[in-house]
């Protein structure tokens, strides 16, 4: 009987699950970030660490048929650099959006907005899969935690310069970073996950600066969903740490549906299908 590994790897962390041929869970593990484009070496190390935790006694990594759903997997060169470091019997690397979509809507139809450290948008419709966005913070990741964190810092600097009214939050952010120069220094070296640490604070704040940024984030997310919407509209599933907030912001425009399962569920389902 085959053994199957599902990996859910994103900008914040990596989760692994090993199941047998009937889907019985044999082990689970977790490790650090797994964005294959921003840190291929670290992604490989974290995949192996999470898998090692999940391995049941007597099972080797070379026994596993694996589907890895990874942030940044839409960049082929990055995936090519990753593969030589993985010892699994069979490997399929896909975008974390694909595994999230499979987990969220099963084999049915729907649109998934996956909003975590980064963002990516996908549609499963009439047996076909389409993905948009997910191009990283420099060129995209609109509405994501990293995008929100970067945006609130930019807003604070602009408010300091007089483009927007200053607020308690904008003044606090400048003070906490040691002044405008401190924000610039932070941004110069910050990774997406560093920016994203500010997002929960922004999402939970009633401050005018926070509302401005969250409204802009919802507009960005809504624009991507519109690209994927056929007529009549499909239901939308919003995933990620900020999913609840975005679901509320988007509910007036579309039918918001709860996910059937997780991205890890999706990865495991695809791994079992690959090995069938």
Strand spans (E) along the chain = 3-9, 14-20, 25-31, 64-70, 90-95, 110-115, 119-125, 128-133, 236-239
- Count of alpha carbons within 13 angstroms of residue 63, beta-carbon side: 16
Q: For the residues of 7-40, what is the DSSP string, one character each?
A: EEE-SS-EEEEEEETT--EEEEEEES--BTTT-H
Q: What are the backbone angles phi and psi of residue 41, rounded to the nearest 5°?
A: -65, -45
Q: What are the backbone angles phi and psi of residue 67, rounded to the nearest 5°?
A: -120, 125
Flag residues of the chain having pLDDT under 50.
Answer: none
| SS3 of the chain: helix, strand, coil, percent, to 5 | 45, 20, 30
236-239: strand order across its sheet: 128-133, 119-125, 110-115, 236-239
The structural domains of the chain, ordered by start, are: 3-105+260-275 (3.30.420.40), 107-259 (3.30.420.40)
Contact of 96 with 10, CB cutoff 8 Å? yes
What's the length of the chain? 276
Tokens of 178: 């040691």
- The single residue listed with the structure tokens 């922004």 is 202
Give me the pLDDT at residue 22, please.
86
Q: For the residues of 159-183, what is the DSSP string, one character each?
A: HHHTSS---HHHHHHHHHTTSHHHH
CA-to-CA distance for 159 and 165, rounded, in angstroms? 6
In degrees, rounded to 5, the angle at the alpha carbon of residue 247 between the alpha carbons of residues 149 and 209 is: 35
Give me the pLDDT at residue 1, please.
56
Q: What are the backbone angles phi and psi of residue 128, rounded to the nearest 5°?
A: -115, 150
Taking alpha carbons only, the member of 38, 16, 39 closest to residue 27 is: 16
Contact of 118 with 146, CB cutoff 8 Å? yes
Contact of 91 with 30, CB cutoff 8 Å? no
């Amino acid at each position: 009987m085959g053994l199957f590994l599902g990996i859910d790897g994103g900008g914040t962390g990596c989760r692994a699950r090993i199941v047998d041929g009937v889907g019985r869970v044999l082990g689970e593990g977790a490790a650090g970030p797994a964005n294959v484009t921003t840190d291929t070496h670290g992604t490989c190390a974290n995949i192996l660490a999470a898998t090692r935790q999940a391995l049941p006694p007597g099972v080797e990594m070379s026994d596993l048929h694996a589907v890895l759903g990874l942030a940044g997997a839409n960049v082929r060169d990055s995936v090519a650099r990753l593969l030589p470091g993985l010892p699994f019997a069979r490997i399929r690397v896909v975008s974390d959006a694909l595994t999230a979509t499979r987990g969220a809507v099963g084999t049915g139809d729907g649109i998934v907005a996956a909003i975590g450290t980064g963002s990516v948008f996908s549609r499963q419709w009439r047996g076909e899969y389409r993905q948009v966005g997910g191009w990283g913070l420099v060129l995209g990741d609109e509405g994501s935690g990293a995008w929100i964190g970067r945006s609130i810092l930019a807003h604070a600097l602009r408010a300091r310069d007089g483009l927007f009214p200053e607020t308690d939050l904008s003044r606090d952010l400048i003070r906490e970073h040691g002044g405008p120069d401190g924000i610039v220094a932070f941004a110069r070296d910050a990774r997406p996950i560093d920016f994203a640490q500010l997002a929960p604070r922004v999402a939970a704040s009633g401050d005018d600066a926070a509302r401005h940024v969250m409204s802009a984030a919802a507009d960005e997310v809504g624009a991507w969903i519109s690209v994927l919407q056929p007529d009549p509209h499909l239901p939308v599933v919003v995933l990620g740490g900020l999913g609840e907030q975005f679901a509320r912001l988007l509910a007036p425009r579309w039918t918001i549906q709860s996910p059937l399962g997780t991205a890890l569920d999706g990865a495991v389902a695809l791994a079992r299908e690959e090995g069938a």
